[in-house]
Copies of this chain bind each other. A is one copy, B any other.
Amino acid sequence: MQIIKSIQKMQSLASELREQSKTIGFVPTMGFLHEGHLSLMRIARNKCGILVVSLFVNPTQFGNDEDLDKYPHDFERDQKLCKQEDVDIIFSPNVDEMYPDSFFTYVDVTGEMTDVLCGKFRPEHFRGVTTVVAKLFNIIRPHISVFGQKDGQQLAVVKRMACDLNFPVEIIAGPTVRESDGLAMSSRNKYLSPEERTAAPILHQSLLFAKELIDSGERDSNRIIAMMRKLIEKKSLRLKIQYIAIVDAETLEPLEQIRAKIMVALAVFLGNTRLIDNVIIEVGV
């Protein structure tokens, strides 16, 4: 396993690998790896000759009042986990090389897709995500790249970006990996107090509840959202719902009536920790 910090070195290596007709699989991460990340690596590992994982806490996707400075990290542990997953290359650049003072270019998915859900509350977040992903695609030049379904809006936005800008990269969705009680794995779960951790599975429970309602024939989004809200609010006063939304799974257009392939998504604060989760549901016509 190679650890590469230099952009230029990574680019030359990617170029060499391409000329040797190797298939490059890529999993971008912000480090502090958990089973969710590892599951994405396994998907890429099975499909590609070369597996590249990036460890980079991307400053442009954090708001000014967000947790950039205290975002958890443990490079030694990440490195060990990557080795266990048979990763070929860890790409771990410095912030100053990724964003020098002269940096001015952003990649932006405009319109409703980035205004709804998390985008409503994190106005420049997705611009930061699509910008760093575009950079990483140009540096690593993967054939496929795997993103977690857990960050459902991110997945849809990255797919849109890659398609609109004609990146020759296939975007693959990896299923959300959950703790035994249903809590979606996230590096931010580490922030939860024991009490908050006990309450946290309610996010997933509310999504399962929504699925049951839809399975039993409910098609009115507002009614489903209202019932989810009640369920969550009953659980604990420490839970603050930021949003619950039902949107088209691909375009993220908010839907009043459930149809075709939808995403039910929510963001909830547990104390100061903001957790997100979602499910994709397909209904017959």
Contacts and interface: CB of A to CB of B under 8 A. Distances in A.
B103 A164 contact: yes
Contact of A168 (B15, B110, B166): B15
Contacts of A135: 164-166
Contacts of A107: 105-108, 134, 165
A264 B284 CA distance: 64
B105 A105 contact: no
Contact of A160 (B11, B105, B167): B105
Of the four ranges (under 10, 10 to 19, 20 to 34, 35 or more), the interface on chain A belongs to 20 to 34
A161 B131 CA distance: 11
A139 B166 CA distance: 6
Interface in A128-142: 130-131, 134-135, 138-139, 141
Contacts of A164: 102-105, 135
Contacts of A165: 105, 107, 131, 134-135, 138
A67 to B, nearest CB: 25
Interface in A106-140: 106-111, 113, 130-131, 134-135, 138-139
A102 B166 CA distance: 13
Contacts of A131: 165
Interface string A180-220: 00000000000000000000000000000000000000000
A161 B134 CA distance: 11
A108 B105 contact: yes
Contact of A161 (B7, B105, B161): B105
Top 10 closest pairs, chain A to chain B, by CB: A105-B164, A138-B166, A104-B111, A105-B161, A139-B166, A105-B109, A135-B166, A104-B110, A104-B109, A138-B167
